Amino acid sequence: MAELAQSWRFWALLSAGFAALTAILAKVGVTGVESDVATFVRTVVILCLTGAIVLAAGQSQALTQIPGRSALFLVLSGLATGASWLCYFRALSLGDASRVAPIDKLSVVLVAIFGVVILGEKLSGVNWLGVVLIAAGAVLVAFR
């Protein structure tokens, strides 16, 4: 089990499962609620949960040791996350979860492209084929 807990694949699969639950639960939760208010409630819950985890793990002192560059990029990432969530909840309030989520998952395609362009990561031909297939699949699922 300790080996599994150190596997990025394990955590990525859990992330995908929770992301799927997020879409379904959010779609039900946003009914009759302004999407920005729904996003706020979700954010407060996440803040409380992660705050409790940091405190329980005894990691609160590490907050003061974050290097300036890392802090800047974490803040920018937080702003991007907030913008993504606001847009996602607005989309869920207007459309079907089964059509909104695949478009949202085009982020996988964008991460691959940004990883290559911005971070200098390398993708093989098979990797690029996967990126194209993900994009095609998202479009096929999302549109009628």
Quote the pTM value: 0.84
Assigned domain for 36 exists: yes
Question: Is the same domain home to 48 and 84?
Answer: yes
- Number of domains the chain is built from: 2
Question: Is the same domain home to 114 and 139?
Answer: yes
**Mean pLDDT, 10 residues at a time, the chain of 144 residues:** 88 92 93 95 96 97 95 96 95 94 94 97 98 95 83
Q: Could you give the maximum distance between any two Cα atoms of the chain, in Å?
A: 51
Question: Is the same domain home to 143 and 86?
Answer: no
Question: Is the same domain home to 27 and 89?
Answer: yes
15: left (phi over 0), alpha (psi -120 to 50) or beta: alpha
Which pLDDT score is estimated for 39?
A: 94
Question: Is the same domain home to 89 and 45?
Answer: yes
Question: Is the same domain home to 91 and 111?
Answer: no
Burial class of residue 125, CB neighbours in 10 A (0-12, 13-18, 19+): exposed
Which pLDDT score is estimated for 83?
A: 95
Domain with 127 in it:
105-144
